[in-house]
Structure 1
Amino acid sequence: MDRDGIVARVAALRAGNDARRLTFGMAERRAALERLAAAVKAEEATILAALREDFGKPAPETVLTEILPVLQEIGHARRHLRAWMAPRRVGGSLNTLGTSARIVPQARGTCLIIAPWNYPFLLAIGPLISALAAGNAAVIKPSEMTPATSALIARLVAGAFPPDLVTVIEGGREVAEVLLDQPFDHVFFTGSPAVGRIVMAAAAKHLASVTLELGGKSPCIVGPGADLDRAAAWIAFGKFANAGQTCIAPDHLFVHETVKDAFLGKLRARISRAYGAGASSPHLARIVNDGHAARLAGLVRDAVAKGARVVLDGGQDGRAMGPTLLEAVTPEMEIDREEIFGPVLPVMTYRDEAEVIARINARPKPLALYVFDRDRARVDRVVGATTSGSVGVNLTVVQFSHAGLPFGGVGNSGLGAAHGEHGFRAFSHERAVLANRFSALPAVFPPYTAGVKRLIGLARRMLG
C-alpha cells in the first residue's frame, strides 16, 4: 500500500471512530471481543499452518503459546469489562467539600499496534483485545518477517470487523514510517529498545501516548537451595520454546558453584529428553530467517574464539539450531553484551549472591528476572536488591500469561503495561469528573475582605 492509501485508511478509521464514540458501549465491546474469539477458533488450523510456515513451529507449542493466551485474554476481558468500565468514586478533601468526584475510563481514540515477529499472532491480537475492550479503533501493522502470519491476521481481522473499527496494514519499514507519521492517539509497540526509541520520538510529534514492550538480557539465577530437577525443567522450557526467540526467555544463567555440576547434568538430560534430535528435533521451532541464524552462529563463534567452552552443542543446519550451552563467558564477548534471542544459553558460576546482584544492576533493567531457590529469604534478597519488569520464582515465562498481572518493562526494557485490566488502562484515558453539589468555596472568592481573609486563615490552620 502506498502512502496515500495508508493516509486514507487511517483517516477513515478516525472518522468511523468519531462517529461511534457515543455508541460503542459495553455490549458493543463484548460483541466485538466475541467475534474475535469466534474468528480465532474458526481459523485455528490456518493459524497453526501459518506459524509452521514462518517458524517451523510445532503445533502444540503454537496452541500453548499463541492461541490459548489469546482466548484466555478475550475471556478475561469479557468477564471483567463491566467492572473495568465502571466509574470509580474518589474521596474528597477540605477544599472540595460539597462536591462528588469520580474517574471515568474513556477510550483514547484511534490506536496503532505495531507487532513483532517472534510471537506474531499473540503479540498482534493481544493488544487488540485491550484496545477493543477500552473502546478504541485500531490499526495493526504485523511484522513483514513472518509473511504467512501477517496475511492470516489481515484476513482474520477483515472477516471479523468493519474496516473503520479495526484494519490491518501490511508492509515493511517504509509502511511503519508512514503509519508513525499519522496522528494516532496511542501507539502500542513491541520490539527492540533501539526501534522503541524511534517509535517514541515519532509519537511525540503528535503528543500520542505510548506503550513500549521491549526486551533486554533477562538473567536467571539458580541458587544453592534450588530444586535442581524443577529448575532444569523450567529453564529448558523457558529458554528453548520458540527456539529461544522470546523476549522474556532466560538470556544468561548464574549457577551457584555448589550445585553447578549437578545442575548442568540435569539440564543436559532435560534438553535431551525434550529435544533429543537437536537441530532436527520436531519439537523445536526454527530461527525466523537466515540473517538471524547467521547472527546466532556468529555469537557462538565469537565466544569460542575468545575462550568460551561449548558444554552442549545442539548443532545448526541453516535456520534449524539446537539447544546450545556455553561456559566461561566473559564481558568482552559479544554474547555477553547483546540480547541473544535464540537457543544459546551462557552458564556462569558464582559464589556470592552479592556479585550476581552487582552484575545485574550494572546492566540496563531487564524485562524479566528468574530466581530458583527454596530459601525464601535468599529469594527476597535478590528480588529486593534488583529491578526488572517482572520476576519469576521457581518458574520461567508464564508470568506473561497471568491475566491479573501487569506485563511490561522498566527503563530500557519498556514503558507502560499490558494484559487484563492493565491493558485496558493503557488504552484508556482516566478522565477526572468533579461535580458541585453544595461547595462552600465561593465564600472565599474575591473581593478579599477581612472576613474572607479570616476564612482563608482558618482553612490554612486546618490544613497544617
Structure 2
Amino acid sequence: MSNPSMPVLESFTRIWPNLEAAHEKAMRSASALLSCRDDLLALLTRVATYSSARDELLRSIGALTGAPWELARNRPPQLARLSVFLPSNNILYSYALFGLIPALYCDQVIIRPSARFRDTAYAVHKLIGSRLDPDLAQRIKMIEISRRQFRPVCAESDAVVFTGRPSQAYDTMNDVGDRPLFLAIGSGPNPLIVGPRTDPGAACRAILRARLHNSGQDSLCPDVIFVHRLRLDAIVEQLRAELSVLTVGARSWPDTVLTPLVHDDAVNSAAEFLAANADHVVSGGEVDPERLLVEPSLLVFPEGAGFHPPELFSPVFCIVPYEDPEMLREWARSPEELERGMYVAALGEPRLTGETLGTAVISRNATALDVEDGNQPFGGYGVHASSIRRDGRLIGRPLLLSAEAGLRQSVITGPLR
C-alpha cells in the first residue's frame, strides 16, 4: 500500500534537500527551549525584565517552528562556517536566529558573545546545548575571545553576522576580507507616529508597551514619538499620569515594568541627554547612577524636523508635535535618518503612503515589536540599521541570513564551501 505522505515529502525534498531533517531538528530545538523554560527565564532575568524575557522565549520558539518554512523558501546552501558577533540584548532570541537556525544548514557556527553579558550568554548556551539534538549541539561553539582576535576566524568563514556600532562594522568588514558573506545589524530610532485618526487611549497603550519593553533597553524601542497636534494634549496628559504611578521592581517579578538598567553606559547617556534637554522635560528627569535608575521621563520638543535622538536605551519618552506629514518626510530625508532608517510605526496617519518613510519600513497601526518575525528579513534600508556587503561596500536593506546565503549561491558559480 502506498504512503499518501510520500509525494508531499518528495515535493519538499525538491524544494530543499535537507528539509525533512531540518524540520525534525528545529522542532526538537523548540521542545528543548520549552523543557527548560523556567531555567532559561531565570538566566535571562539577570539582564531583562520577566515580561521581556518571556516574550524573547516565545519569539525564539516561534522562529524555530517557522524555520523549515524559512529554509524551504530561501534554499540556503550548506555553509562550512558561520561566525557571529552575538549582541548584548535579546541573548536567547539572537542565539536562536544566529545559532540554532543556521546550524540547520551550517557545519559549524562560532559565536562570540558580547563581553558585557558574556556569563549569561555562556549559561544560556550550556543549558540549551545539553538538551539539543546531539548533531545540532556539536555544530554550535561559543568562544571567549576579543573582537580583534575573532576577526581572523571570521576571515576563514563563509558568512559573518556582525552586531554592533556602524564604525566597528566597517572596520570588521575590511579586516575579514572579501571572502565571507558579511551582514551588519545595527539599530535605528524606530519612530512611532500618532496620527489624527488615532484614539488617544489606544495610542498611549501602544507607546507605553513599545517604549517600556525591557524598561526601554531594546533596539526596537521608539526613541522619538511624533504626535499630531490634535492629539498632543491628550497624549501628554495621559502619559504623564501613567508614568507617575510606575514603581521600580525586581527583574524577576512577572508584573515588573520598570527596573534598574543593566549597565552604567545607558544610565550615563540618559543623564547627559536629560541634562542637555532639561528645558523640554515635562515630567521625570531624575537619574540615580549608583542604583542604575532612570526615572520615567517625558520630554516635549518644538515642532520641526531638526530633532535626531540618540539611541536612548532607557525609559525616556521624546515627543515632537506635527501637523503636516511633509514634516515627517523632511525629517526622514535628513542624512542622519537616511543612514539609520529601520522601522516606523504609523498609527492613524493615512496621509503617509507607500512602504517606506525615507529608508525606514512603515508598519501600519502596529509597532516594530508587533511586526518583528524571526523568519522574515529584519530592519530597514538605512545602512546603519541593517546592511550587507556588495561590491566592497555596505548596502542597507532588510536582512535574513538564509535568504542572503541563498541569493548569493544563486549568482555565483559553484558552492560556497
Equivalent pair of 2:81/2:106 in contact (CA under 8 Å):
no
Q: Deviations over 1:103-160 (max 9, x none)?
A: xx42233101111112122112212244134344211112221134212233135423
- The alignment's C-alpha RMSD in Å is 3.2
Equivalent pair of 1:120/1:150 in contact (CA under 8 Å):
yes
Q: How far off is 1:327 after superposition?
A: 1.9
Q: Deviations over 1:364-388 (max 9, x none)?
A: 3321112111x53x1326x555221
Q: 2:239 is matched with which residue? A: 267
Q: 1:93 is matched with which residue? A: none
Give the SS at the match of 1:402: coil
Q: 2:394 is matched with which residue? A: none
Q: 2:12 is matched with which residue? A: none
Q: Deviations over 1:362-416 (max 9, x none)?
A: 133321112111x53x1326x555221x322222123553356421232221115
Equivalent pair of 1:287/1:293 in contact (CA under 8 Å):
yes
Equivalent pair of 1:212/1:414 in contact (CA under 8 Å):
yes
Distance verdict in 2 for CA 1:136–1:82, change over 3 Å: same
Aligned residues: 376
**Counterpart selection for 2:271 from 297, 321, 329:** 297
Give the SS at the match of 2:116: coil
**Counterpart selection for 2:281 from 290, 300, 309:** 309
Matched, 1:147 2:121: no
Equivalent pair of 2:60/2:93 in contact (CA under 8 Å):
yes
Equivalent pair of 1:109/1:186 in contact (CA under 8 Å):
no
Q: How far off is 1:63 after superposition?
A: 0.9
Equivalent pair of 1:327/1:347 in contact (CA under 8 Å):
yes
Q: 2:13 is matched with which residue? A: none
Query: Percent same amino acid at aligned positions?
Result: 19
Mapping of 1:64-75 within 5 angstroms?
A: 64=55, 66-75=56-65
CA distance in 2, matches of 1:170, 1:283: 33
Structure ID, larger Rg: 1
Q: Point out where structure 2 has 5 or more consecutive residues left out of the alignment.
A: 1-16, 389-396
When normalised by structure 1's length, the TM-score is 0.72
**Counterpart selection for 2:228 from 249, 256, 268:** 256
Q: How far off is 1:250 after superposition?
A: 0.8
Mapping of 1:76-225 within 5 angstroms?
A: 76-79=66-69, 81-82=71-72, 84-85=74-75, 105-156=76-127, 158-159=129-130, 160=132, 161=134, 165-177=139-151, 179-180=153-154, 182-203=155-176, 205-225=177-197
Give the SS at the match of 1:341: coil
Q: Point out where structure 1 has 5 or more consecutive residues left out of the alignment.
A: 1-23, 86-104, 435-464
Q: How far off is 1:242 after superposition?
A: 1.3
Q: 1:372 is matched with which residue? A: 347
When normalised by structure 2's length, the TM-score is 0.79
Equivalent AA in structure 1 for residue 51 of structure 2:
P
Q: How far off is 1:27 after superposition?
A: 3.8
Q: 2:23 is matched with which residue? A: 30
Q: Deviations over 1:255-289 (max 9, x none)?
A: 1222211111223344456xx21588832243221
**Counterpart selection for 1:393 from 341, 346, 364:** 364
Equivalent AA in structure 1 for residue 158 of structure 2:
D
Equivalent pair of 1:106/1:431 in contact (CA under 8 Å):
no
Distance verdict in 2 for CA 1:285–1:136, change over 3 Å: farther
Distance verdict in 2 for CA 1:157–1:169, change over 3 Å: farther
